[in-house]
Structure 1
Amino acid sequence: MEKTLKRNRGQHDSLSDKIVRYRGVLLVIALPLLLITFLLFLSRSPSDSVGSLNRKFSPNFGSNKYAVIFDAGSSGSRVHVFCFDQNLDLVPIGNNLELFHQLKPGLSAYPTDPEAAANSIKPLLEKAEAVVPQPLHPNTPVRVGATAGLRQLEGDAPDRILQAVRDFLKSKSSLKSQPDWVTVLDGSQEGAYEWVTINYLLGNLGKEYSETVGVVDLGGGSVQMAYAISESDAQKAPKLSDPEDKYVQEMYLKGRKYYLYVHSYLHYGLLAARAEILKVTENSGNPCILAGYSGSYKYGGAIYSASPLPYGSNMKSCRDVSIMALKVNESICTSMKCTFGGVWNGGGGDGQRNLFVASFFFDRAAEVGFINATAAPVAKVRPADFESAARDACETGLEDAKSKYTSVSADNLPYLCMDLVYQFTLLVDGFGIDPQQEITLVKQVEYQNSFVEAAWPLGSALEVVS
């Protein structure tokens, strides 16, 4: 009976009785826990609580990165603003996948006034800064890439203009700038960036080189060709006199190595080529000038006579002069196969099979109406289409052309026959493209249900944020 009573009491012990009874066990468990908690408290940064408040009430821009790229071309200045996520996919800025604005003239229009050249980009800079979130300004790179227009200025004019732009960005902009981010792009850089841009937008990067597209970019001062080639063709590339100048660049993109053939032809952009064509006939009449025009053409600080022959412009004669300007038959080709001017053509191959042709090619085609630019910023054509359009233009006098080609500006109209003939000659005689081969004229490329400018600045932006 006594044993039963003790067992019943034990069943009804209070919580305090249990704590007293097992206090030794509890102390063994609790002391290490208390020690760990104390050490964790000491290791906390005193600013943690403040930081957590700041994070709670500060705007969160995630891992997005912005880049501001100025394209300082011969025909004008343009600004591109891009935003990338952590996977380097483009993120919309407002309703578009980039901010794009342009103005004329370009930096090269101020050869004797560097400060005026730098100040000319101020309206574009203000538009760019307005779309980049203020807290991200200090970490957002701004690059200025000058192209052929500035390359062709004489003396120290290019260096003085570039330094004025560096000083302008340092004093007037809250974006991140570095001296070596304001440069004259060499033609190879421009062509490589253009190739990266178009293949990035098409989703080709990371695929076999044979699945990429080649690019021809006709600017105002120069024209670039770039396309991926096989490793075996890359090993056949001729050595150039300047060891820093190469026909082939090795690029690692999306986990794949590419051998990129790229070459830039200075003096053979559309505006520069006019000067080269006029040089052939010097002070006599030129068969590429529309009848009814008599004047002069100014380019790169020089002035050229621009008068037609008595019978006006002529398609065949203009083509003969264009071939002479390209020096197709005059230069010695020391490689297995050349384009023009004795330049190696890269060997051809699958990377050149699908060709995207940009800039002035698209513009002139749209202006004369053999593509509909309002329907889409991309169109499939053939080089022969430029020949057909050139034939029509060359048979038209200046007065009739004013009513026939209403989309062509007044300052370009006298040279319409010349421009179209040159574009056909460049593709067929210069680059050796079959007149009936299908090519893609492109101004913008569709990407994620939006259209993005098919221009080199996106390639530069991808490099600077990577």
Structure 2
Amino acid sequence: MSEDKLGCNSVWNGDCCVREGDAVCNGKASKGLFLNLMPKSDSRSLSTLFFLGLPLALLSAIMVLIPCVMVHKPEMFWYLPFSYGKIVPPVSKKYAVIFDAGSSGSRIHIYCFDPNYELVKVGNELEIFMHSEPGLSDFAKDPRKGAESLRPMLEEALRVIPAEQHSTTPLRLGATAGLRLLPGDEAVNLLKEVRTLLGSSGFMFQPEWVNIIDGTQEGSYQWVTTNYLRGSLGRRLDETVGIVDLGGGSVQMAYAISDEDYINAPKAGKDEVASVQQVKLLNMTYNLYVHSYLHYGLLAFRAEVFKHSEGTTCPCVAKDFEGSYMYAGVKHMAAVRDEGSHYMDCRALVVKILNVDHACKHLKCTFGGVWNGGGGDGFKQLFVASFFFDKAVDAGIIRNKKVASAVVAPSEFERAAKKFCSLSLAEIVQRFPKLKEQKRKYICLDLVYQYILLVTGFGIDPNQKVTLVKKILHRGSEVEASWPLGSAIELVSGYQ
């Protein structure tokens, strides 16, 4: 891509070099396109110039403004449509509405794209974002009420998107780990009610657009979102960043790997999801490693800790803790030790549950015997998202709550864990009065888990700098660094 740009001595339109008399996209003349940017008129009279030259100039100017966009058909996963070569109809804007139905809450993301699939503002921002709590999985026994919890956010989308574009605006809901873990037909019944609500909205809708997305898909979208917002797509492997996304029910890791690691990647067994896929973005083919660890999201892992503590005391909850922990409709009781929480004992329990000593059949593994992708240049810069950012704010690792991202080392989670695990609940309340009750109850456990997950689980050096990210600055606006943007690009690119 960079070579094409350097060789362009006329007009550079994204990845498209428009020269006098033709349009060259990626080194090839565009079919059916002949642009006269400077119509020759030395032998014509002034009247001829006026009546013929002006319309030609206007036509040429209009055509120059139309981006060259070629949408590729999916191969292994999907192609992000940023390769140029074909003129698209002069559609000014395309909207997309994505619901993220997570285990801890539901969120809506409203995006608008220009014909080149670049984000443009909806009102004053590049993204309209709203959220509500609790998540859909909390309405497992009352699915209609669960669907209705989305209505205020849906009404906001109907309000901000022009009415004449409702029927051409794709609307999708992707449910993640929270619904994956529901028993029986509970998830099916919830999604049925959601389809009824969204299907009557007036937006472009297909029933299959309300579904439970698998963790690999979620991780892929997250990687695309992060690198899209950073401007890394189309660049070399070592200029991209890897992601670790800690949700409520699962955690995803994704990063680009070398051709050698891709060729030597373990083959997926029966009923297994392949851990590698090829994705073409901005004329660059990436070998993407993705793995999703179900049950290892922050909220799900709390439940695992309490399960392992049944019949005994739990070293990860503070003195004065009372009550139980509810997750995925199951209540877990926690017995507190007289001395309260203890960092080293909690750490030992977390390491045991993480199953880091599981036999590894590959050269390198994370935990549970899972191949780690081989590491390499795509793993050197890490953007760590979701609960990692939130807990860093709660624990004071990030002191300025208004920042969208922060560079820290995993060792800072360990220091914070040691501090909170040494305190009783009463002391936490006294020293951190703004910390909500549901957060202070589990903050010792949460911080221990996050540190062990990064360092022992994923093999990150305790002193390596990683970027905790909630939003990424893109074209002057902060945009949520989450999977729905990747999904939105996929949707709008498929509907011309």
| TM value normalised by structure 2 | 0.80
Partner of 1:462: 489
- In 2, Cα distance between equivalents of 1:218 and 1:283: 29
CA displacement at 1:408 relative to structure 2: 2.5
Contact 1:319 1:425 in 2 (8 A): yes
CA displacement at 1:375 relative to structure 2: 4.2
1:117 aligns with 2:146: yes
Partner of 1:10: none
Q: Aligned to 1:70, what secondary structure does the other structure show? A: strand
CA displacement at 1:242 relative to structure 2: 3.1
Partner of 2:219: 191
Contact 1:187 1:263 in 2 (8 A): yes
- In 1, Cα distance between equivalents of 2:280 and 2:217: 15
CA displacement at 1:243 relative to structure 2: 5.0
Partner of 1:154: 183
Contact 1:365 1:386 in 2 (8 A): yes
Letter in 2 for 1:144: L
- In 2, Cα distance between equivalents of 1:128 and 1:326: 41
Letter in 1 for 2:261: D
CA displacement at 1:240 relative to structure 2: 2.7
1:83 aligns with 2:112: yes
Q: Quick one: which of 104, 114, 119 aligns to 2:133?
A: 104
CA displacement at 1:310 relative to structure 2: 1.3
Q: Aligned to 1:412, what secondary structure does the other structure show? A: helix
Q: Aligned to 1:97, what secondary structure does the other structure show? A: coil
- Give deviations 1:150-169, integer Å, cap 9, x for gaps: 00000111111111111111
- In 1, Cα distance between equivalents of 2:433 and 2:156: 31
- Give deviations 1:40-94, integer Å, cap 9, x for gaps: xxxxxxxxxxxxxxxxxxxxx9521000000000001000000000111110111
Partner of 1:128: 157
Q: Which runs of 5+ in 2 are unaligned?
A: 1-89
- In 2, Cα distance between equivalents of 1:464 and 1:373: 36
Contact 1:368 1:407 in 2 (8 A): no
Contact 1:222 1:266 in 2 (8 A): yes
CA displacement at 1:449 relative to structure 2: 1.3
Matches within 5 A, 1:275-354: 275-329=303-357, 331-354=358-381
- In 1, Cα distance between equivalents of 2:411 and 2:92: 48
CA displacement at 1:244 relative to structure 2: 5.5
- In 1, Cα distance between equivalents of 2:132 and 2:386: 16
- In 1, Cα distance between equivalents of 2:369 and 2:296: 14
Letter in 2 for 1:189: Q
Matches within 5 A, 1:38-437: 62-171=91-200, 173-242=201-270, 245-329=273-357, 331-437=358-464
Contact 1:296 1:307 in 2 (8 A): no
- Give deviations 1:337-384, integer Å, cap 9, x for gaps: 110011100000000000000000000101111113434210000000
Contact 1:367 1:405 in 2 (8 A): no
Q: Aligned to 1:238, what secondary structure does the other structure show? A: coil
Letter in 1 for 2:461: D
- Aligned CA RMSD, in angstroms, stands at 1.2
Contact 2:138 2:328 in 1 (8 A): no
CA displacement at 1:222 relative to structure 2: 0.4
Q: How many residues align?
A: 404
Contact 2:141 2:186 in 1 (8 A): yes
CA displacement at 1:198 relative to structure 2: 0.5
235-244 or 118-127: bigger deviation: 235-244
Partner of 1:45: none
- In 1, Cα distance between equivalents of 2:184 and 2:102: 19
CA displacement at 1:111 relative to structure 2: 1.1
- In 1, Cα distance between equivalents of 2:400 and 2:293: 27
Sequence identity of aligned pairs in percent? 52
Letter in 1 for 2:424: G
- In 2, Cα distance between equivalents of 1:403 and 1:93: 43
Contact 2:425 2:440 in 1 (8 A): yes
Q: Which has the higher helix share?
A: 1
Contact 2:385 2:470 in 1 (8 A): yes
Letter in 2 for 1:145: G
| TM value normalised by structure 1 | 0.85
Change (3 A) 1:203 1:322: same
